[in-house]
Amino acid sequence: MESLRGKVAIIGVADTEVGIVPHMSATQLTIDAALKALDDAGLTKNDIDGLITCNSFAEPILYHAEAMAEYLQIKPKLCYSVLTGGGTTFSLVEHAAAAIVAGLCHTVLIVTADSLRSGLTKEKAMTSQASTGHPQFESIYGPTVPALYALIARAHMEKYGTTSEQFAKIAVACRKHASLNPAAQMRELISVEDVINSRMIADPLHLLDCSLISDGGAAVIVTSAERAKAFKQDPIYLLGVGEGHHHEHISQALDFTTSGATDSSKLAYEMAGLGPKDMDFAQIYDCFTPTVLVELEDLGFCEKGEGGAFVDSGAIELGGALPINTHGGLLSHCHPGHPGSMFALTEAVKQLRDQAGERQVKNAQTALVHGQGGIMSSHTTLIIGREVS
Partner 1 sequence: MEALKILPTPTIETQIFWDACQQEKLLVQQCKECEHVQFYPRLMCTNCSSREVGWIESSGFAKVVTYTIVHRPILPAYQKEAPYILAVVQLEEGPTMMTNIVNCNHDSIKCGLQVKVLFQDWEKGFLVPVFEPI
Q: Which residues bind partner 1 (CB under 8 A)?
A: 126, 129-131, 133-144, 146-147, 150-155, 158, 199-205, 249-253, 256
Q: How far apart are CA 95 and CA 7, in angstroms?
A: 13
Query: Least distance in Å: CB of 134 to partner 1?
Result: 7
Closer by beta carbon to partner 1, 154 or else 227: 154
Q: How far apart are CA 190 and CA 208, in angstroms?
A: 9
Residue of 86, 168, 149 lying closest to 344 (CA atoms): 86
Query: Least distance in Å: CB of 11 to partner 1?
Result: 42
Q: What is the DSSP string of 214-281?
A: -EEEEEEEEEEHHHHTTSSSPPEEEEEEEEEE--SSGGG-S-SSS-THHHHHHHHHHHHT--GGG-SE
Query: Least distance in Å: CB of 361 to partner 1?
Result: 35
Closer by beta carbon to partner 1, 128 or else 355: 128
Closer by beta carbon to partner 1, 271 or else 376: 376
Apex CA 209: angle with CA 207 and CA 210, to 5°? 70
Query: Least distance in Å: CB of 210 to partner 1?
Result: 10
Closer by beta carbon to partner 1, 204 or else 329: 204
Residue of 77, 69, 143, 86 lying closest to 106 (CA atoms): 77
Alpha-carbon torsion 15, 295, 288, 141, what sign? positive
Closer by beta carbon to partner 1, 81 or else 289: 289
Query: Least distance in Å: CB of 204 to partner 1?
Result: 8
Compute CA distances 341 → 14, 99, 192, 293, whole Å. 13, 21, 24, 17
Q: Is 287 helix (H, G, I), strand (E, B) or coil?
A: coil
Closer by beta carbon to partner 1, 150 or else 324: 150
Q: How far apart are CA 65 and CA 62, in angstroms?
A: 9
Query: Least distance in Å: CB of 329 to partner 1?
Result: 22
Query: Least distance in Å: CB of 131 to partner 1?
Result: 8
Residues in a beta bridge with 110: 52, 220
Sorted by sequence, the CB contacts under 8 Å of residue 31 that are 6+ apart come out as 68, 71, 72
Closer by beta carbon to partner 1, 70 or else 203: 203
